Chain A
Amino acid sequence: MTDDSRRTGLYDLHVALGARMVPFAGWAMPVQYPTGVMAEHLHTRARAGLFDVSHMGQVLVTPQGGDMAQAALALESLIPADVLGLPQGRQRYGLFTNDQGGIGDDLMFANRGDHFLLVVNAACADKDIAHLQTLEGVTVTPVTDRGLLALQGPQAAGVLARLVPATADMRFMDSQIHVWDGVELWMSRSGYTGEDGFEISVPAADLRRFAQALLDQPEVAPIGLGARDSLRLEAGMPLYGHDMDATVTPAQAALGWSIPKVRRSGGARAGGFPGADAILAELAEGPASVRRGLRPEGRAPIREGVAIFADAEGGEPVGHVSSGGFGPSVNGPVAMACLPTGLPDGATVHAELRGKRIPVAITPLPFITPSYKR
């Protein structure tokens, strides 16, 4: 562990729980606990897993004149989403785009009445904040005095209802403030696992105490970044820097669904975000390649960078695996890759692994059935 890695407020707790700590996006983070990735993954799908995601960037965007519509429009100049139409107490998924039509980051944004709360990727946070600070008429405030937890799994809601009864009424993508033992919790019903669950921003001073209160519940186990990755992969969720980056467009990343009609060509607020011309034209015409799900034959995982070929022999690669590994719930290897459009679900392509080509079935995403509380 390098000494210059930043530590979350739960560092000592992770170490006490026996976590293996690794550097991740400049932070010292738990990759797994003694039970291991497989058990942690399956525990989250069956019960409730607690994740420390305090490395992620939390940012408040507040209209200087108090007019939320004006702040929404400012955010829409960076994010091709319907920010203006987002009701108070609700959260949406969106993208920062760049002038080339690529993706600068992905994020969650919530309307909290008199400001927006954004949650961005750790590795992109500084860049995103600098980007947001170019907006006029809004105050951009990085939240540096709170940690972020995720409680995910079919028993997450029951656990939280015990500690914070008012959470029982929250629906998928609700964003609400609740109080636990005098502590203000910023909660959303969302996550990165394909399971029902919550993401909870907690004041730094109370982070360990609240995390411990969750871990004291019999359903809850701590879960590391290793299982977080296999859970999101099975859920078909892209990871920034892997399945998408500054060179991948929203349509190629299969994230066109996050760009609603109102921001597309012919919509009331069409365009007006970086790369709009290229992004909207590609959404209208369809991309030449698009992120797909892959299930290799057998049990050998195909990991990031593995070349995908159309045929069992010869030819040039038609794409490369952007994320791949073993899916504990699928009980087999799963992967994603950007492949030429037109290949139907069920079509066979081939992955070159250690000099041999393995048949791989193109499979609809997600690999598991999500269980969000809509």
Chain B
Amino acid sequence: MLKYTEDHEWLRAEGDEIVVGITAHASEQLGDVVFIELPEEGREVSAGDEVVVIESVKAASDIAAPVAGVITAVNSALADAPGGVNDDPLAAWFFRIKPADGTSLDGFMDDAAYQALIG
């Protein structure tokens, strides 16, 4: 089940990692994505660190690490074809992170709470 951050990221727990992308709402707000800069694999990050840069035709924005941990994988295919974020935001994952403090996503919004946020 997906969880959501207030920064319009979706989070999915897989094994001992969390997969991170952005929501359809975020992708619509950004407009056509033309450039994505991904973090280096193995980078240790704190919660809130800006780890991804997304440039759309309109503006630059960031994706923050939802939790502290280590970046274990990045979706370099997405960096080569950034329009995938607009085409299918739920399939367009950006990175996987191995949390420093367990994979519980209890503190994040569920679908109902997120839908209420973007209402």
B64 within 8 A of A: no
Tell whether A325 pairs with B57 under 8 Å between CB atoms, given A32-B31, A37-B32: yes
Measured in the bound complex, the distance between the Cα atoms of B86 and A300 in whole Å is 17
CB interface residues, A 317-357, toward B, < 8 Å = 325-326, 328, 333, 354
Asked if A226 contacts B57 (CB within 8 A), the reply is: yes
B35 surroundings in chain A (CB, below 8 A): 298-301, 326, 333
Whether, in the assembled complex, A230 has its beta carbon less than 8 Å from a beta carbon of chain B, the answer is yes
Nearest CB in chain A to that of B53: its residue = A354
Which chain B residues in 14-39 approach chain A with CB under 8 Å?
A: 31-32, 34-35, 37
Decide: A326 and B34 in contact? CB cutoff 8 A: yes
> Is residue A246 within 8 Å, beta carbon to beta carbon, of the partner chain?
no
Q: Is B60 an interface residue (CB 8 A)?
A: yes
Q: Is the CB of A226 within 8 A of B34?
A: no
> Which residues 272-326 of A have a CB within 8 angstroms of B?
298-301, 303, 325-326
> When the two chains form the complex, which single residue of A37, A38, A301 contacts B55, counting CB atoms closer than 8 Å?
A301
A38 vs B57: C-alpha distance when bound (angstroms):
7
Q: Give the nearest-CB partner of A230 in chain B.
A: B57
Q: Does A158 contact B (CB under 8 A)?
A: no
A366 beta carbon closer than 8 Å to chain B: no
Give B56-68 as 1s and 0s: 1 = Cβ < 8 Å from A's Cβ atoms. Answer: 0111100000000
Cβ-defined contact, A37 with B31, below 8 A: yes
Query: Smallest CB–CB gap between A322 and chain B, Å?
Result: 17
Q: Once bound together, how far apart are the Cα atoms of A238 and B13, in whole Å?
A: 49
Find out whether the CB atom of B53 lies under 8 angstroms from the CB atom of A37.
no
Using Cβ atoms and an 8 Å threshold, which residues of chain B touch A256?
A: none
* Chain B CB within 8 A of A36 CB: yes
User: Are B37 and A38 neighbours in the complex by a CB distance under 8 Å?
Assistant: no
Q: For A38, give its contact among B32, B59, B60 (CB under 8 Å).
A: B32
A residues within 8 A CB of B57? 36-38, 226, 230, 325-326, 328
Interface size on A, residues (CB 8 A): 17
Residues of B within 8 A of A226 (CB): 31, 57-58
With contact pairs A226-B58, A328-B57 given, residues A36 and B34 touching in the complex (Cβ less than 8 Å): no
Could you tell me the distance between the alpha carbons of A32 and B57 in the complex, rounded to whole angstroms? 11
A 29-40 binary contact with B (CB < 8 Å = 1; else 0): 000100011110
In the bound complex, residues from chain A placing their C-beta under 8 Å from that of B82 are 299
Across the interface, which residues of A come within 8 angstroms of B31, CB to CB? 32, 36-38, 226
Please determine whether A36 and B32 come into contact, CB atoms closer than 8 angstroms: yes
Of B32, B34, B35, B57, most A-chain CB atoms within 10 Å = B57
Query: In the complex, are the beta carbons of A300 and B32 less than 8 A apart?
Result: no
Report the minimal beta-carbon distance from B32 to chain A, rounded to whole angstroms: 4
Scoring A38, A39, A354 by chain B CB atoms within 10 A of each residue's CB, the highest score goes to A38
Q: Which one of A32, A39, A301, A354 has the highest number of Cβ atoms from chain B below 10 Å of its Cβ?
A: A301
B75-89: which have CB < 8 Å to A? Answer: 82, 86
**How far apart are the CA atoms of A36 and B86 in the complex, in Å?**
10
Docked complex Cα distance between A354 and B108 (Å): 29
Is B34 a contact of A299 with CB atoms below 8 Å? yes
Question: Does B32 contact A303, Cβ atoms closer than 8 Å?
Answer: no
Which has the most chain A C-beta neighbours within 10 Å: B35, B58, B82?
Answer: B58
Complex contacts, B60 vs chain A, CB 8 Å = 301, 303
Distance (Å) between the CB of B89 and the closest chain A CB?
14
Q: How far does the alpha carbon of A325 sit from the alpha carbon of B31 in the complex, in Å?
A: 13
Least Cβ–Cβ distance between B17 and chain A, in angstroms:
26
Instruction: For the complex, give the distance between the alpha carbons of A330 and B90 in Å.
Output: 29
Instruction: Tell me the complex Cα distance, A303–B60, Å.
Output: 9
Chain B: which residue is nearest A37 at the CB level? B57
Q: A37-B57, A226-B58 are in contact. Are A301 and B34 (CB under 8 A)?
A: yes
Taking CB atoms, residues of chain A closer than 8 Å to B34 are 38, 299, 301, 326, 333
- Expressed in whole angstroms, the Cα–Cα distance for A223 and B92 within the complex equals 28
Chain B residues with CB under 8 A of A230? 57
* Interchain nearest-CB distance for A30 vs B (Å): 13
Give 24 CB contacts A-B under 8 Å: A37-B31, A37-B32, A37-B58, A38-B31, A38-B32, A38-B57, A226-B31, A226-B57, A226-B58, A230-B57, A299-B34, A299-B55, A300-B35, A300-B37, A300-B55, A301-B55, A301-B60, A303-B59, A303-B60, A326-B34, A326-B35, A333-B34, A354-B37, A354-B53
Question: With A230-B57, A298-B35, A301-B55 given, can you name 13 additional A-B contacts, CB distance below 8 Å?
Answer: A36-B86, A37-B32, A38-B31, A39-B32, A299-B34, A299-B55, A300-B35, A300-B37, A300-B53, A326-B34, A326-B35, A333-B34, A333-B35
